[in-house]
Amino acid sequence: MECMGRRSVIRGSMGLAATGILARPPIANAAASTAIVWRDQGFVPEEDAAFRATVADYEKSSGNKIDLSIMPFTALNQKIISALTTGEVPDLIFHIAPSTILPQNAWNDKLVDVSDIVEAHKSELSTTALLASSYYNNVTKRRSYYLVPLSQGTEPFHVWGDLVEKAGFKLSDAPKTWDAFWDFFKPMQKSLRGKGMRKIYAMGPQMTTVGPNDGNGLFAHFMIANGGAGIVTPDGKLHTEDPMIREAAIRTVSYLTDAYQEGYVPPEALSWNDADDNNAFHEKLIVMDFDGSLSTELAMIKDKKAYFEDMKTLGLPLGNDGKPMPAQIGTGGLFIPKGAKNIEVAKDFSRFFLQPAVLNANLKGGLGRAVPAIPAIVRDDPWWLDPSDPHRPPYVQESVLGPTIAQYNGYNPAWGQVNAEQLWGNAHADVIKNGMTPAVAVDKAFRRAEAIFARFTLG
């Protein structure tokens, strides 16, 4: 990842941010007006409170008003799709994981180009966040920025360290390569069940057919670990014809379906939503989970023993070839639907939010579940790598400071449709429920992916 930033701006803001008074450069003051803003509900209440605080700061600074609606993640997705279909849209939308929505709507020219906002901070933003914020518009026949990137994140491993020890193992003994790391947890299931935890499973991979996001992230990281990172390249081309890509997909589907059929995965995993694996982990029904963000840990932050002693957050092991593997990054932020009645205020608020001091205060207020898309923030504010927190530093290292690649949705909107149709979860189900071999299931998924990509020809 390319990390560039204005360290002096960040350092100068830290002391003031701690007192809630942010030193800010002058904001272009739009005519006093009200913008309607939607956002997804945070996984912890502090995220919503932090967003409201940012809104209040903006209103005080600008004289404008923000009419804010916060709603659950799935409900927001449905509302956005309905709004973009009918044209009855808000002025601005904040979304922590918009990658299943933005690519197709940018393609169909339903979003406002925000390149003027992003370009002003291009030297500060991570290369990966920039790649994940740029989409091709089939009407204008060019690529532009349609997301103002604020945060980025990926999937870390969440582990009950106390259960590992109870099973007679040491987490420090975990192997360093991908498949072997997953295999490390399998024998713990038998040991723990023998000690009375009869409902425990070794792992909770999101092999879901209903999504929306975590199963796709799971598949992507298995593909990277198996040498299949190039299934989609930055030129937007799909490479299912490549024997190495096909072999990586077959190995991925084989590993996950074998683990399921061997009984190491809860049987409900095929129909999990994005929160169900979190719930299973919290109930200690799984020893290990691989899931996006620190929402798993932060949901239990008030349980001091669980948070500071029992749970462990780990970044990625090496790939199966023994080489470092990049984390695939999703980017969250702000976007403006076409038809918005107050684009001027929507853009003004976006510019305000993207200031490093404002962004840092907001994400810290949300307890760090989302990490900044401006890498200098985590380098210059010691809070982000404070070793007294057992979870935040490894997550920041994986999501910002380590090697990363962008989600493929930015390369071609077809990948957003591939993920929305849950092709990879359905491939797992084809093996488990329909008796297909992994190779046949992969070929079926690949044929559908090829048909989707055929509809999206980039100029």
What share of the chain has pLDDT > 90, as a percent? 85
pLDDT of res. 43? 84
pTM, whole model, 2 decimals? Answer: 0.89
- Is residue 394 reached through a cis peptide bond, with omega within 30 degrees of 0 on the bond before it? no
pLDDT in tens, 132-147: 999 999 999 999 999 9
pLDDT of res. 74? 84
Same domain for 164 and 44: no
pLDDT of res. 27? 42
Q: How far apart are CA 368 and CA 177, in angstroms?
A: 28
Say if CB 426 and CB 453 are below 8 A apart: no
Residues with Cβ within 8 Å of residue 36, at least 6 apart in sequence: 67, 69, 90, 91, 92, 341, 342
pLDDT of res. 32? 58
Same domain for 218 and 250: yes
Same domain for 194 and 107: no
Same domain for 164 and 228: no
- Provide the 8-state DSSP code for 458: -
Q: How far apart are CA 203 and CA 247, in angstroms?
A: 24
pLDDT of res. 361? 98
Same domain for 163 and 149: no
Number of domains in the chain: 3
Say if CB 183 and CB 175 are below 8 A apart: yes
Within-domain flag for 86? yes
Within-domain flag for 122? yes
Within-domain flag for 318? no
Residue 94: what residue type? Answer: F
3-state secondary structure of 371: strand
Same domain for 389 and 355: yes
Same domain for 31 and 145: yes
Same domain for 344 and 252: no
Domain that holds residue 145: 7-154+328-407
Same domain for 198 and 69: no
Residue 285: what residue type? Answer: L
pLDDT in tens, 390-432: 999 999 999 999 999 999 988 999 998 898 899 999 999 999 9
Tell me the CATH number at 45.
3.40.190.10
Same domain for 76 and 113: yes
Q: Which residue stretches of the chain have pLDDT < 50? A: 1-31
Same domain for 195 and 165: yes
